[in-house]
Each structure stands twice: as C-alpha cells, then as structure tokens.
Structure 1
Amino acid sequence: MFFLGMLFTLWIGVSLGLTFLTHMYEYWIILWVFLGLIAGIIFDILFALIFIEIGARTNPKSKFKVFVLRNALKLAFMFYHIHVTSEGLENVPYNTPFVMYCNHKSMMDPAAIYIEINRIVSAIGKKSLWGFWPMNHICKCFGALPMDRDNDRQAVKDMLVAIKAVKEGMPMIIFPEGGIKSRDVEEMVSLRAGAYKLAMKAEAPIIPVAIMGSSEIAKKKRYQRKDIHIIFHKMITKEEYQDKNTTEVGTFVESLINEDIRKYEDK
C-alpha cells in the first residue's frame, strides 16, 4: 500500500511537471518529482494512521481487515528483507479455536505467525504495549489482549478475558516465557505454568509452535536478509492434557518446542 501510494503520487508529480513546466528549466521537473515523492510518503502515512484508528474500533474478526493487515505485514517484511517459511500448517485447524504456545525471541514473532496462518487469530501481549499511541491502537487493530505481568490480581482478570475470547471462538497466540528472556539460544528458557491455564480453562486444543531465526532480527543490518522458519507442531487435544496440571502441560509443550528447534538446527 505504501509503495502504491508513493508511486501514484510520484507519477502525478512527474505528469504535471512535464505538462505544465516543459518550457522551463529541467530543475523544475526534478522539483515536481521530489514533491511527488514527499506527497506519496505523506499520503501513505495518513492512510496508515486512519486505517489503524478505524481498525482499532472494528470487529477483530473482520475478514477484510485481516486481509489488509496480513498483506501489510507481508509488505513490511519484504521491505526489511525478512523471509518467513513454515511447515506443519496442516496442523492448524481452520474452524476450531485453539491456543498456540511459542518460544519468543523477537517482537516480530507474532507478526511472522500472523502472516503464515491463513485465518483470524489474536494474541496476548504485555500490558505496557497498550500504554502509548499508536502501539495501543495497533494492538487493538489486531484484536490483541493485554496481560499485566506485574499485578497478579489484574493478571487473573486479564486471563479470564482471554479465556472467554477463546471459548467464543477466537484462536489465541501466547508466549509462555513471559517475554523475551534470551536471544542467545532459540530454545525456550523459561516456564510460566500459569500461561497454560488459558488453553486448559477454555478446554481448547494446544498447538506448540517453534520459531527459528527471529533471535537474529535485532542484530541484522537494514539490507541484510534474515530467514525465519516456523514449525507448527501437531495439535494436543483436551483429552490428552485434561489429567495433567499446568506445570506438567507446560513442561511437555516446552520439550516439544525445544525438540523441534534442535532437530531443525541439526539439519
């Protein structure tokens, strides 16, 4: 969308310059090209801000909004030379709510998953992301839900809201490490058992997700290509975990994710 707007207004600037200023010096045409470029950038920024504002107020299950957001993310990843591949997409059900538990090494992780799965999905993020504009509107635009890690009482309330959303049919992405704990290794290095209450209380299937390569994103240079690979593990049904507690489920999911990461790194 950004590049289309920029090219469109650039074309207008060039056309006007050639039409009305051909009798003048060449630097006037260069000026029109420059003004067209600036106008294109301003147009795209305004369009993005308006879309974010409207998107924050509309239904997170809107298929049109999801289509626009997914393609905007694809364009952003292309611009920053981030290439995403995946395997196991057949393990992601289309009509069943689920909870994805993933290792977390970069702020790009939820966006990479959002691009790869062809369905509506929400996510849980740290509450501080909702504390400033436009990040709070971007989170609302994606239908994300806040989780207060510093206030146990509020965290319980936030978890109940997320459980209700899953029960009502909204798939959810959560990073059970409780933030980015280490970028030195791809594996999960921390376990917050309480995060698994989301799936267990909602009686939803669990999909372990291993993300490789995103730990290098923060270190990459602007034009350096980076690859992210995602493995969607086979779904764990309610019947498979219903006799376990949250710590046992968390340990099991963590072992599956780390095993997938080690197998991928050994290839």
Structure 2
Amino acid sequence: MKFCANLSLLFTEVDLLKRFDAAREEGFTAVEIQFPYEAELSELVNAQQANELSIALINVPTDDLMSGGEGLACVKNKRDKFKQAVDQCLAYAEALQVDCVNILPGRSLEEKNRQYYRDTLMENLDYAADQLASINVLATFEAINTEDMPGFLIHSTQQMRDLLADINHRNLAMQYDIYHMAKMNEPVAEQLQQLLHSDKICDRIGHLQFADTPQRGEPASGELDFNALFSLIEQSPYQGWLGAEYKPTQSTAASLQWFSPYKD
C-alpha cells in the first residue's frame, strides 16, 4: 500500500515548507496538501524536489467554504470564480506533478436549493475533469459528513456513486474518506469491499483518506478497526494513495505508530 502524509494536518509543529522534510524523515514517500496556495509555488517545488517526494493530491480553492459559506463548486453565480480557481490549481498541479486534484462540492444552506446546486456541481465537475485531463491529472470529489460541515451537499457514498453515473466522465472518480463515511454511520468495510473490487465507473475510487472516529485522530485512537480496513485495502486491486488526513492526538511523530509496518 502507498501511504501519504497530509501536510495540512500532520507535522503542524513546523511551518508548511519544513513539513516536507519532516514527512521524509518519518519515512513517507509522498504527501498531500489541502490548499497549497498559501506558499509560493517555486518554494513548494523546491521543498518537494529536495525531499524526492511525490504529491498525491491537492484541492481546488474553495472560496468561503472553510469559513462556513457555500464554497464554489455548486454555486451557479460563482461559475467564473470556480473556473479561475481551477486555473490556479492547474498551475500548481502541473508544476508539482500531482496525481489527483480534489474538488470539494460545497454546501447547500437551504434544502430547497439542493437539486439546483447539484446541477451546478455536475457542470463544474465535468469542466474540471476536462481541464485536468489536459495535464494528465485525475479529478476527484468527496463526500463530507454533515456534523463537521452542516449542509454539505454530498455526504454519502451513494450520492457520490450517483454523481459519477450521471456525469460519466473517464477522468473523474470519488475520493473516499473513511472518517467522513464512518461519521455518517455508513458500513465502511462493506462499501470498500464492494467499490474496490468493482469495474463500474460509478464505483471508481481515485484516492483514499483516513482518520479514526469520533475525533478524527490517528488509527487506534478511536473506534475503527484499521488493521482490518488496511488488510481489506491491501488485498484489493486498488493502486492509489492512502492519505493520512487526521488530527494527531499527540505529537505527529508519536502518532505514527500505525505507520511502522508499512514503511519502505
């Protein structure tokens, strides 16, 4: 299995650029960054190359999503702004040679607007998938639990599957986050067993992320059986990255006991 460290949540004891060094020192060969745009692209490239790290995934900018707003990808009157965000992301994705770019669907703050927002999301996902295909980068999108992000438009595995079926784009896949789906009380092990062994376009997983429930800590800090989950993934045909996107309950280095058996 291929594990990558999420530098937005791990190694926060040091500045972002120094987290590349920390990840390499702990044995990671790849990292992911939620929103790398706070750093100069040239500095990120230098830090990446100095540590010989792959960049598994970055996100398209999301406007006001992280501060409680609707975001970009599902809001029709922000389509131009979304395209600008995709352009910015393309520049980073190409220079950093990322494998995947994730598009966060956003919120529908009023239930009556949900279908209207879903239609916009479909248009924007199709557009982003086209643009990313031009630089050979896979587009993904994810479901997020509605406890952490109330009103989030896509919050179940079935909703992701339905979108993939409706859009039917060869360069689009779901990002399956074990933590978010477990928080929604979905049968994670059963779903992964089905999805990872399926060849249907609606079941395609392009990237996996994980954290334990209920507090989003490292494996073995909560309720989930990660020995079983990792074994299930390891025995599947899945060839993508597994992103450690958790909030350490102790120092990052101390939280990495789960990673010891998987280091190169």
TM-score (norm 1): 0.29
The structure with higher relative contact order (CA 8 Å, sep 6+) is 1
TM-score (norm 2): 0.29
